[in-house]
Structure 1
Amino acid sequence: MSCRFLFFLFIIIQNSFSSIHISPNRNQLQYSFIRTNSDRIIERFKRRTTSDIFQIHIHYDTSIKKLLKDEQKLIKEAVQAATNYWSKTIRPKYKLNNPIRLTRQCPSRKMFIVERNYSIHYCSEKCLDETHCGDIIVPEEHLQQCYICKNHQKCDPIGTQGPGVNTEFILYVSVLQTNRCEPIDTLATASFCQLERQQDRPIAGNINVCPKRLRGDRNGIDFDRLVSTIKHEILHTWVFSSGLFAFFRDSNGKPFTERDPATGWPKIYDEKLQIYTPSENVLKQIVRKNWKTRGGLVDKIILMLVTPRVQAVVREHFRCSTLEGAELENQGNVGTALTHWEKRLFEHEIMTGTYTQESVISNLTLALLEDSGWYDVSYEYGKPLLWGRNLGCDFVKTSCKQWIDSKLEKKKNPYPFCISPPKPNPSKRICDYTYDKIVMCNLVEYSTALPFEYQIFDSLPNITDENELARFGGHVMLADYCPYNQELSYKNSNRDSRCYRSENQPPNNENYALEKYSSQSKCFDHGSIWEQYIDQCHRKRRVIPQAAGCYEFECISYKGFYVYIGKEKYLCEYQGQNLTIITAEYDSVYVGTIICPDCQIICGSLNNFQCPSEINKNHVQRQQQQQSDIRLSVQNFCTRSYEYNQSSMSDKTNQLHIILQTIFLFSICLYIRKGF
């Protein structure tokens, strides 16, 4: 077995983890309302000022106390970080004037009685002893009185109401190993619980962290990923739910979806999906003709969110003026399909159905929050979505097979998808499009054939058997099995391939390309296989090929940026510049090349930074040609390094001689004193 293959055994494509969102059915879904002693209904809302922050009350279920202290701390810090982000990013359009008291649930059916222009729901005969929000039992102090109708005649509130919670949203957090936690990759689940009566905005929800998954990783759950997951789950309780789409309102506060005048609820209920059916102004079915599959052309049915801001964002993002809206996920179980963005098109957006690499909250998700009619949004807190940007209608309206085939026919890179040799090869590691991490094509061979509509390849290198070709596809099912470059993790360690995490620094004996992981590091593609000179440069060997590495950098206005490798620094002056690296480390001399990325990607986000203007590339190339005799350069470097080491060893030897002489003289003195 070769060293290269042995090395790959320690590298794996980043494990994904997912979330499941379940909408309450119509018997579970409740409106929360406030009755007043006044003769008329007083509006519950005040138009808020933009300086207000979103007030979120976090209530921890008793299940969290079953965790270890460190685990409790991890979850609480992650929840706080997530809610802090959302509190400054969005605000409800209208502010509640009164405490939230949730409506008690009914054992079976509920009835609606119109009182003072309100459709108030009553339970038949009694309320349930316990009211649930997702997986938890709502505390009594958070509940309204019980409203019941006895013998279908006398309808009254009974019992007492709790003080409620003075807030704008109650987030119930639990840590329970429920049935929805059974899929091995499920880290958390979420559900919204109740809506306020006047504008339909959700005012309570539950996120549940799955304890087995939390503890299942021997190296622990990464804090940043846990925060990202909780941000994702919170959005399911606020807006991104197939069960909420029918309640969206336009910019004037009017429902997009027609309402039943008797109940105030949306008019049509889908018994199969267990959700109210939204208007086509919100959710629309589209048929894509001539969708290319391995077996031929088919009609592809997709569902898209087509609200105004969402439509505008995706049209601008993909540069496709005829795009109808943003495609929703069509794969996965209940709780994944229709409640996430399509993974094939929005890979690293936070609201896709599975976490595969570091995600971003983009303008797309922020636009959905605003289009719901419930929130004002601060777009400055969003981050750019780079996946698929500016790739046009051909990318966003066709299958990945059609995109890959058309690019390969023109001998072009099928970015953002990839084609790698079917066998693992660490030399295929490259930088991702943000230059924040090292990635590798996630093309894998499955044990059985992929579903027919997702089979991609008519041919692959060294594979001719059609049955075998049917088994190859991308590692991520939700991305329609389309292969793309994905973040890596390392077996038997807590390391992954994100350059900015110092925890990912490899031990010296595995640092084959002198990498440095830190908050000041970016990814740089290698231009050649690196070589290592040992035994005073008398022997040369190729280091394990990896094709990219993480290195620290420093931006210098008008000049470019320095890349620090070993004890040396190298100036990148223009994109595509091929820098020769010669540096000494670990009693060896390393020789290789790196390719300079775009200065704007590396340094463009810095305040007042200016990348170099057009430079004389011929001048730079002539400077490099002066070092073109690599052998001579290495020999000179080795000589200097050897002389330095010899000088250093000589200094150390002299120091040792002085120490030994001192000890010898001291011993003689002691001996003489004892003699007298």
Structure 2
Amino acid sequence: MLYVVLLLKLTQGCLNHPDYPLHISSRSLQTGPPVPEPDWRSIRITPYYINNTSSLGDIKSTFIPLAIEFYKKVLKIVYNGDIYITSSTCSGIEVPDTYHLTNTSTDVIILITYDENSETGAWAQPCECSEDIGMRPILGRMHFQGTFESMTWEQKQALCIHQLAHILAYDARLLPYFLGKIGETYGIDQVLGYTSRRNSQISYLKTPKLIEIAREAFQCNNLYGLDLENTFSEKSTSLHWEKRIMNNDFMVADSNIYYISYSDISFSIFEDSGWYQVDYSYSNNILWGYHKGCEFLIDPCVEKSNYMFNEFCNTSSSISLCDHSHTFKGNCNMGIQSSPIPAQFQYFSDVFIGGNDSFTDFCPYVKPETTGSCRDIGIENTIINTVDYGENACDSCKCLEGTYVSQFSTMSVHWHAGCHQITCEGNVAVVHVGGEVVFCDPGGGEVTVRGYDGYLICPSSDVLCKDLPCPFACYGNGKCVNGQCDCYSGYSGLYCDSGSMIRGLEWIALVVLVVN
């Protein structure tokens, strides 16, 4: 079991869970000749609440059921009949008699516990895998603690989907049992690798579908694996992506993210386990680092105080900028830290200056303003300046930067971000500024606007005309198709929020919750 020690990953501040053993069971249930074709069916996940979980509120009543329904749509398993739990304990708690040594008509049982009087957070891990079904997990524990009142709808949904992923595939102890195309186990050396990159020792996953999708997403044909979070610990077996590379993906360790992405990269691990068929229509392409090449994965984010990719920044927090998705106005999170930044993450001459987020290796990037949503779906109403900048907030609006200021304004020309409606005609983006329109070159560049001094910077059409993930993942009430929510029966609205339990739109809370 030496590989467990080598695999353990944890990010600073993550909730630790004890290193409980993973139980392997076998009953040899197959009788008669083998089934000619696998019978793939939607996965059935059964939750069981162990203790007084009533204080979990909507985590229990809404978001755990939504997460279970999410995986029911996304994942299929080979049906082998009932499962049979042989383990008497699961991550330190007793398995209820209801499920112990009993045939149960489900595919996975999740034991859910809650501690109201502890630091807010959550963790999850698998407890038992069945040898009869290719070592697929059939039992796990999901633990919540503290209060989740400050979290938004989007964050709660991602929290529960994230935790279930740890039981289904994202746990280091499961990696040696991942299956190849003919049912052979890969072995740990075929799944996990180690190297030195960006002045740090890192570990990475290197499974086939992951490499295929990530190479296309980052446009890096030499990619041989994707980095896991870069701080080691012997206190957790949970696997997370390195946030500096996968910033707002649902499988990073930090929940202080917004516009959460359910990427095809993260979905690929379920397929690569060999246990699941995956419906990728419920996933989306990454935005962060999209088509930035191998350099984005290898090189420092900032060199000689200059940012190397436009996902990052190096300016004062007082200057308005656009975030990486170009859907929010925000500010660079660069600041003075309370202690020297670790040497490998020092990008500026002052060892105290860097990004405020340790999960991104202290790389500074634009964090949204609570009033900065160009689509006007923020927790606060979007503030726009129609007089000086000709701004607008709408579903098709995006964020652009420049020095442009109305010739009727009392302001002088200065750098700022602004929200503007974008319409795309083929690969040409049309930007609406006040009552004027400008046409952007597909490759991007500076344009001037009639009636405005200064200039506006057009990103490339790949940015302005690219379909984006649907906000709030369509509230779990629809599927995102070409950037638009296709609502299920009984739901309607731009984001499928009508006809459901939703009470208003919100996207980010100014809290930091780390998920393990």
Q: Please state which band the TM-score falls in when normalised by the shorter chain.
A: 0.7 to 0.9
Judged with a 3 Å threshold, the aligned counterparts in structure 2 of structure 1 residues 483 and 337 are, in CA distance, closer, same or farther, namely farther
Q: 1:351 aligns with which of 220, 245, 251?
A: 251
Q: 1:21 to 1:488 in 2, by over 3 A?
A: farther
Are 1:209 and 2:79 an aligned pair? no
**Which aligned pairs between 1:427-442 and structure 2 lie closer than 5 A?**
427=319, 429-442=320-333
8 Å CA contact 1:450–1:472 kept in 2: the answer is: yes
Return the offset for 1:592. 8.9
* 1:480–1:307 CA distance, 2 compared to 1 (3 A): same
Q: TM-score, normalised by structure 1?
A: 0.59
For the 8 Å contact 1:526–1:548, the answer to whether it is kept is yes
Give distance in 1, aligned partners of 2:378 and 2:19.
43
Counterpart AA for 2:449: L
Q: What is the identity, as a one-letter code, of the residue corresponding to 1:235?
A: A
- The verdict on how the C-alpha distance between 1:502 and 1:305 changes in structure 2, with shifts beyond 3 A counting, is closer
Residues 205 and 226 in structure 2, CA contact (< 8 A), matched pair in contact too: yes
Q: What CA distance in whole angstroms lies between the structure 2 residues aligned with 1:173 and 1:509?
A: 48
Q: Which residue of 2 aligns with 1:31?
A: 24
C-alpha distance 594-571 of structure 1, shift in aligned 2 (>3 A): same
Structure 2 partner of 1:482: 363
Distance of 1:559 and 1:414 partners within structure 2:
23
Tell whether 2:105 aligns with 1:166. Answer: yes
Give the distance between the partners of 2:385 and 2:155, measured in 1 at CA: 29
2:166 to 236, 250, 269: 236
Q: Which residue of 1 aligns with 2:96?
A: 139
Q: Deviations over 1:248-297 (max 9, x none)?
A: 1212111122xxxxxxxxxxxxxxxxxxxxx2111122245xx65xxxxx
Query: For the Cα contact (< 8 Å) 1:329–1:343, is it kept in 2?
Result: yes
**How far 1:514 sits from its partner (Å)?**
7.3
Distance 1:77 1:379 in 2: 24
By how many angstroms is 1:420 displaced?
Answer: 1.3
- Which of 97, 107, 123 is equivalent to 2:81? 97
On the 8 A contact 2:125/2:238 being kept in 1, the answer is no
Residue identity matched to 1:528: Y
Shift of 1:521: 3.6
Write out aligned runs for 1:384-399 (5 A).
384-399=285-300
**What do residues 381-419 of structure 1 show as CA deviations (whole Å, max 9, x unaligned)?**
221113223333333233335xx34x94xxx85433221
By how many angstroms is 1:44 displaced?
Answer: 10
For structure 2, list consecutive stretches of 5 or more residues without a partner in the other structure: 1-10, 469-480, 484-516
Higher RCO (CA 8 Å, separation ≥ 6 residues): 2
Q: Could you say which residue in structure 2 is the equivalent of 1:283? A: 192
Aligned partner of 2:279 in structure 1 is 378
Partner amino acid for 2:275?
W
2:439 to 562, 573, 576: 573
Using the TM superposition, name which of 548-557 and 365-374 deviates more: 548-557
Report if the CA contact (8 A) 1:89-1:378 is conserved: yes
SS in 1 for 2:231: coil
Match of 1:419 in 2: 314
> Secondary structure of 1:172's match?
strand
The AA in structure 1 aligned to 2:310 is Y
Distance 1:474 1:604, change over 3 A: closer
Q: Which has the higher helix share?
A: 1
2:403 to 524, 527, 537: 527
d(CA) in 1 for partners of 2:346, 2:65: 43
Give the direction of change, closer, same or farther, for the CA distance of 1:139–1:44 in structure 2 (3 Å limit).
Answer: farther
Equivalent position SS for 2:52: helix
Task: Give me the whole-angstrom Cα distance separating, in 1, the residues matched to 2:236 and 2:196.
Answer: 21
What amino acid does structure 2 have at the position aligned with 1:548? A
Q: Distance in 1 between matches of 2:300 and 2:440?
A: 35
Distance in 1, matches of 2:369 and 2:80, equals 46
Give aligned pairs, total.
455
Paired with 1:45 and 1:64, the residues of 2 have a C-alpha distance of: 41
8 Å Cα contact 2:262-2:283 kept in structure 1: yes
Is the 2:428–2:440 Cα contact (8 Å) retained in structure 1? no
1:303 matches 2:203? yes
Q: SS at 2:189's partner residue?
A: coil
Q: Shift of the alpha carbon at 1:557?
A: 7.1
Contact 2:312–2:365 under 8 Å retained in 1: yes
Aligned to 1:447: 338
- Residues 348-405 of structure 1: CA deviation (Å, up to 9, x unaligned): 222122133323122221222111111112223221113223333333233335xx34
Query: In 2, distance between residues paired with 1:134 and 1:371?
Result: 25
- Relative to structure 1, is the Cα distance of residues 604 and 362 closer, same or farther in structure 2, using a 3 angstrom cutoff? closer
Structure 1 letter corresponding to 2:440? Y
Give the counterpart letter for 1:84 in structure 2.
Answer: E
Q: Which amino acid aligns with 2:322?
A: C
Q: What is the distance in 2 between the residues matched to 1:32 and 1:524?
A: 56
What is the identity, as a one-letter code, of the residue corresponding to 2:299? T
Alignment of 1:523-562 (within 5 A): 523-529=399-405, 540=410, 547-552=416-421, 561=430
SS in 2 for 1:478: helix
- Residues 1:594 and 1:394: Cα distance change in structure 2 (over 3 Å): closer
Q: TM-score, normalised by structure 2?
A: 0.75
2:65 to 68, 80, 102: 80
Q: For the residues of structure 1 that align with 2:300 and 2:425, how far apart are their CA atoms?
A: 43
Deviation at 1:97, TM superposition (A): 0.8
Q: Which range moves more in the overlay, 435-444 or 220-229?
A: 435-444
Aligned-partner Cα distance in 1 for 2:360–2:384:
37
Shift of 1:194: 1.5
For 1:593-604, list aligned pairs within 5 A.
Answer: 595-599=457-461, 601-604=463-466
Distance 2:429 2:207 in 1: 43
Residues 117-160 of structure 1 deviation map (CA, whole Å, 9 limit, x = unaligned): xxxxxxxxxxxxxx3x447654321211xxxxxxxxxxxxxxxx
Contact 2:110 2:142 in 1 (8 A): yes
The CA distance in 2 between the partners of 1:80 and 1:57, in whole Å, is 10
- The Cα shift of 1:342 comes to 1.5
Matched, 1:57 2:46: yes
Give the direction of change, closer, same or farther, for the CA distance of 1:388–1:244 in structure 2 (3 Å limit): same
Deviation at 1:43, TM superposition (A): 8.7
State the 1:339 CA deviation: 1.4
RMSD value over aligned CA atoms?
3.9
> Deviation of residue 177 (structure 1)?
3.8
Taking structure 1 as reference, are residues 232 and 514 closer, same or farther at Cα in structure 2, changes over 3 Å only? Answer: farther
Deviation of 1:477 after TM superposition, in Å, equals 0.8
Q: 1:368 to 1:555 in 2, by over 3 A?
A: same
Partners of 2:28 and 2:155 in 1: how far apart?
A: 42
Q: What is the match of residue 223 of structure 2?
A: 323
Q: Percent of aligned pairs with the same residue?
A: 23
TM alignment of 1:466-481, pairs within 5 A: 469-481=350-362
C-alpha distance in 2 between matches for 1:389 and 1:443:
23
Give the aligned residue type for 2:99: H
**Would the aligned equivalents of 2:321 and 2:330 in 1 still touch at CA under 8 Å?**
yes
> Residues 231 and 46 of structure 1: is their aligned pair in 2 closer, same or farther, counting only changes over 3 Å?
farther
Distance in 2 of aligned mates of 1:194 and 1:140 = 16
Q: Distance in 1 between matches of 2:167 and 2:482?
A: 40
Say whether the 8 Å CA contact 1:135–1:206 is kept in structure 2: no
Judged with a 3 Å threshold, the aligned counterparts in structure 2 of structure 1 residues 379 and 320 are, in CA distance, closer, same or farther, namely same
SS of the counterpart of 1:141?
coil
Shift in Å, 1:570: 3.7
Structure 1 residue 449: deviation in Å?
A: 0.9
Q: Is the 8 A contact 1:74 1:223 kept in 2?
A: no
Q: Deviations over 1:164-207 (max 9, x none)?
A: 531212233443247xx53xxx5322122221222111112233
- In the alignment, the residues of structure 1 paired with residue 92 and residue 260 of structure 2 have an alpha-carbon distance, to the nearest angstrom, of 27
